[in-house]
Amino acid sequence: MIEILLTNSPLDTSRCIGFVSNDASGGIDLFIGTVRNATKGKPVLRLEFEAYEPMAIAEMQKIAQQAIERFSVQKIALHHRTGILQIGDAAVVIAVSAPHRAAAFDACRYCIDTLKETVPIWKKEIFEDGEVWVAAHP
């Protein structure tokens, strides 16, 4: 029902869709988080992601499990990148299948919103004149 992946290799969107596809579903919701080329108007060269891997995988599993329990959805694929990402690369891919679309949208949003709050993964933005760990300071 759930596929979790934390990887240093490029994410495969079609693999996520393939995992959640099933004959009983009426829709698949797909979220792809990508690397933006600027923060507050300042050009970003690339991002570097690091993770506390065993805990990140465990937290991603918990989120997907909670989403299945809370919403009427069938299958969830939750994949996240680590390492160096270039502009436009996918950092996270979430696919959710459900009999009806509202549950798929709700579960997908729950997964990305909760991931951003609890999963121990950190990104550093690299600018021309320095680098910053995102959200570290008040």
Interacting residues toward other proteins by CB under 8 A:
33, 49-52, 54-56, 58, 80, 91-92, 112, 115-124, 133-138
Pick 23 or 64: Cβ nearer other proteins: 64
Q: How far is the CB of 45 from other proteins (least distance, A)?
A: 17
Helices 101-118 + 53-70 axis angle, to 10: 150
Angle at 49 between CA 32 and CA 91, to 5 degrees: 10
Determine how β-strand 27-34 pairs with β-strand 2-7. Answer: unpaired
Pick 15 or 124: Cβ nearer other proteins: 124
Instruction: Point out which residues pair with 83 in neighbouring strands.
Output: 49
Q: How far is the CB of 15 from other proteins (least distance, A)?
A: 19
Pick 45 or 134: Cβ nearer other proteins: 134
Q: How far is the CB of 133 from other proteins (least distance, A)?
A: 4
User: In whole angstroms, what is the distance from residue 52 CA to residue 38 CA?
Assistant: 26
Q: How far is the CB of 122 from other proteins (least distance, A)?
A: 3
Pick 15 or 109: Cβ nearer other proteins: 109
User: In whole angstroms, what is the distance from residue 1 CA to residue 24 CA?
Assistant: 13
